[in-house]
Amino acid sequence: MTNEQKEEVEVMSKHDFYFETPLYEVITLDGLENTTFHGDVDAYSVKNSSDTTYSISMEEIDCWDDWNDTRTSKVRAGFYLISLSCKRKNNEVLRFVIFKNRVIVMKIGQYPSLADLQFAELGKKYDKVLPAEDLKNLKKAIGLVSHGAGAGSFVYLRRIFENLIFETYTNNVTGMKVSEADFKKQRMMDKVETIKAFLPSQLVEMKGVYSILSKGAHELTEEECLRYFAPIKLSIELILDQKTEVAKKVQKDAMVKKQLQQIQQEIATSKEDEN
């Protein structure tokens, strides 16, 4: 592989490998971050209900020498146990079993499960900005994809994404030039274009995802659904993160307004007492 070809390989971060990737998904070693199997990784701790840093360690379970075609070099291939230990509290260890050779790697087991790792974080981050039914559907989608059920998981993600897009439209309808009836008829890409001023800029740039959403899960293969799960989930999180920031700003504005009113009242009362 040439240097130019290597640059074209999309590299998966170590965080995405451990906390976003389902079991049995085959990943090329060239497509992984160089420090995936050592060093540290930042992530949310379910046990401690807070963000933390994990140290990564790897040990062999059952491995053998894997020679190249010319038998001039070898690597250790086989099954490995990877442990992620919480560095802040020293009270949590996550475990992953992987298969790795000189070309590919895949997770074949983990504890806690992918769904367990993500459920608590989702509830903590989004229970105030995502309706209970959509939060339940998001957890269902993650549970399904963690077991390799791409089509089933995609149905739930698509439903949540459509709800959020329509909610964004209705919350800003006074500034729209498209009627609700016409908006509902638009393809997903066109809907995003219509309301792009009210969406995260990163999401607007993810146009390839919307063409898949427009097709619908019934037109996609199981493999396509699994492949598009991560970017669609990310697009949902981008909208929710923006909603969270807006909610925090509203809360902060209300708090400042209340405090200023109290100060003004105290000043007015003080002047009355002086008189």
Global pTM reads 0.65
Mean pLDDT of the chain: 87
Residues whose CB is less than 8 angstroms from the CB of residue 142 and which lie 6 or more positions away in sequence, other chains included: 114, 115, 118, 119, 122, 153, 233
Average pLDDT over residues 30-41: 94
* Per-residue tokens: 20: 């976003």
* Per-residue tokens: 94: 């996550």
Q: Quick one: pLDDT at residue 275?
A: 62
CB burial of 188-201 (b: ≥16 within 10 Å; e: otherwise) equals: beebbebbeeebbe
Query: What gap in Å lies between CA 266 and CA 114, rounded to an integer?
Result: 54
Q: What is the pLDDT of residues 193-204, one digit of tens each?
A: 899 999 888 888
For residue 86, list its beta bridge partners. Answer: 54
Nearest CA-CA partner of 41 in 6, 12, 8, 7: 12
25 residue type, one letter: E
As a whole-number percent, the residues of the chain with pLDDT over 90 amount to: 33
Confidence of residue 1 (pLDDT cuts 50, 70, 90): very low
3-state helix, strand, coil in the chain (%, to 5): 55, 20, 25
pLDDT at 181 exceeding the cut of 60: yes
pLDDT at 103 exceeding the cut of 70: yes
Query: What gap in Å lies between CA 137 and CA 217, rounded to an integer?
Result: 15
pLDDT at 9 exceeding the cut of 70: no
Please tell me the least confidently modeled range out of 154-163, 236-245, 264-273. 264-273
Give, as one character, the DSSP assignment of residue 58: E
**Biggest alpha carbon distance in the chain?**
99
Confidence of residue 187 (pLDDT cuts 50, 70, 90): confident
Q: Quick one: pLDDT at residue 230?
A: 83
* Per-residue tokens: 110: 């983990």
Where does residue 121 rank: exposed (0-12), middle (13-18), buried (19+ CB within 10 A)? middle
Where does residue 13 rank: exposed (0-12), middle (13-18), buried (19+ CB within 10 A)? middle
Average pLDDT over residues 131-146: 88
**Where is pLDDT greater, at 60 or 265?**
60
Where does residue 1 rank: exposed (0-12), middle (13-18), buried (19+ CB within 10 A)? exposed
As a whole-number percent, the residues of the chain with pLDDT over 70 amount to: 95
